[in-house]
Structure 1
Amino acid sequence: MFAALTEDGFLDGRLRILQPRDGYRAATDPVFLAAAVPAKAGQRVLELGCGVGVAALCLAHRTGAHLTGVEVQADYADLARRNADANALPLEVIEGDLDRLALTDSFDHVMANPPYYAGGTPSRDPGRDLALREDLPLARWMEVMARRLRPGGTMTLIFGADRLPDALCGMPPSVGSVVVLPLAARAGRAPKRLILQARKGGRAAFVLAAPAILHAAPAHNHDGEDVTPLARTILRQGGGFPHPLFAPSRSGSRIGEKNA
């Protein structure tokens, strides 16, 4: 059990989330992850490594989709259930290790914010260390994600920009139409995070999208929020990234094109 909890507001207070005061604490990555998933009301979405449920609940709030989360740490899984109940949103949480996942259902979309730090000094908090430090290879995460997808469904991940080569090399052969969206803190800055999305059975060409810029000013030199309209729509209003940014049509349309 956690020694102490905090209650934090996400989506400008639309979601109230209990988190451990010490340990892994969700910030903006799960919010951006949820904003990238092109789910619709009534569809089924699986999140691997759901933590306290931030990404899943952001997506359920925006879309009305039915969410299932898998979490290996019992304390975090329990908080995810409590957060779903407190926010009156549909989230089923399964406690288990994704490498031995007994789940056999298929889903319209699968998403994950996997641990992606391969080295460095271990955290003093075991829960935080498990949430951030890679144990299973990224390729294994994507293999499990692809296996749980229905034909035509999407898999969406957010991870550090330095892990893109690992992600592309480990891409399961059953998915394609890969789109990579860099997230850059400011214009002219190298992106530190990437969102990758692929479609099961997709055959469209690889697309590297223009970076999504998160802050409007060239530098943070004053107090107050300076996020871009896109970031404000996602972080404050619970909106999503524009589509079909992540969903090229079967005819092979590219980012920004409207389907006929």
Structure 2
Amino acid sequence: MTEAATDITEDAFLGGQLRLKQKRSGHRAGHDAILLAAATEASPGDRAVDFGAGIGAAGLALARRVSGLRLSLVEIDPELAELARGNAAENGIAADVIVLDVTADAQAFAAHGLVPDDADVVLMNPPFNDPARHRGSPDQMRRTAHVATEETLHAWVHAARRILRSNGVLTLIWRADGVAEVLAALSRGFGSLSILPVHGEAGRPAIRVLVRAVKGGRAPTRLLPGLMLHEEQRGPNKEVRDILEGRAVLPLAQP
């Protein structure tokens, strides 16, 4: 067996409904991607774009739940994009895999068919580690994938705003301690925010926030009851197990 082959694992998601190949080392798809998909509202026939798709976990999980999506997976790393392309094919999901920097200009997006005011849904899991508290990898590509600069979130939200149609929906996941950054980034062009804090366990501060925002939305912001990933010393609670195994969605997907 070659070294390249042994560096790849095949893992089951959504209770086995989705099988994804990914690199054994480095960033690996997990709960964040599945929670993001479960928080994303979409309907059959929608144009859905997954920014920073990696191996395609979030976008493909969404497509497994919602049939007939016109799905684009946008990923800067050609190696991960190739895995995403293979994962889509092996799971029988139609997806356009695009190698592109999310911070690229409108002309670069349009060259790949991502034109303004066209997408119904954008979902994204941007690099969100704080560079002041997280030692970045010496590998430039891995550092880009994990560590946020001061402009990262604003640039990704700007790109989403550009390609979304009026009343299109953006769903994102971010560090809970960076919620102020999320609100600032969404303050231009987005409204009707719904925010779901995600806690590792009850009684502990939230570790993530899932946010749904509408381009041009005007409804008041909603702060939803927190999601507890684990019950005390009992592992994932039933609600979370149902979500991770593809039997349920989060309230953000049911506005």
Shorter chain as denominator, the TM-score bin is 0.7 to 0.9
2:176 equivalent among 145, 150, 161: 161
Q: Following TM superposition, by how much is the alpha carbon of 1:219 offset from its aligned partner in structure 2, in angstroms?
A: 3.2
**TM-score of the aligned structures, taking structure 2 as reference length:** 0.88
Alpha-carbon distance in 1 for matches of 2:140, 2:158? 26
Q: Following TM superposition, by how much is the alpha carbon of 1:229 offset from its aligned partner in structure 2, in angstroms?
A: 2.2
1:36 equivalent among 24, 35, 39: 39
Report the equivalent of 1:256: none
| 1:117 has 2:118 as partner | no
Alpha-carbon distance in 2 for matches of 1:165, 1:109? 23
Q: How does 1:1-260 map to 2 (within 5 A)?
A: 3=4, 4-64=7-67, 65-100=69-104, 101-102=108-109, 103-104=114-115, 106-119=118-131, 120-135=134-149, 136-216=151-231, 218-219=232-233, 226-242=235-251, 245=254, 247=255
**1:172 and 1:166, CA in 2 relative to 1: closer, same or farther beyond 3 A?**
same
**TM-score of the aligned structures, taking structure 1 as reference length:** 0.86
What whole-Å deviation, never above 9, does each CA across 1:111-160 have from its counterpart, x for those lacking one?
A: 10000113121225544322111144211111111111111111010011
Runs of 4+ in 1 over 2 A off after TM superposition: 123-130, 242-245
Q: Is the 8 A contact 2:195 2:224 kept in 1?
A: yes
Alpha-carbon distance in 2 for matches of 1:181, 1:175? 17
Paired amino acid for 2:249: G
Q: Is the 8 A contact 1:145 1:155 kept in 2?
A: yes
Paired amino acid for 1:113: N
Alpha-carbon distance in 2 for matches of 1:17, 1:204? 38
Structure showing the higher strand proportion among its residues: 2
Alpha-carbon distance in 2 for matches of 1:40, 1:115? 27
In structure 2, runs of 5+ residues without a counterpart are none
Secondary structure at the residue paired with 1:185? Answer: strand
Secondary structure at the residue paired with 2:206? Answer: coil
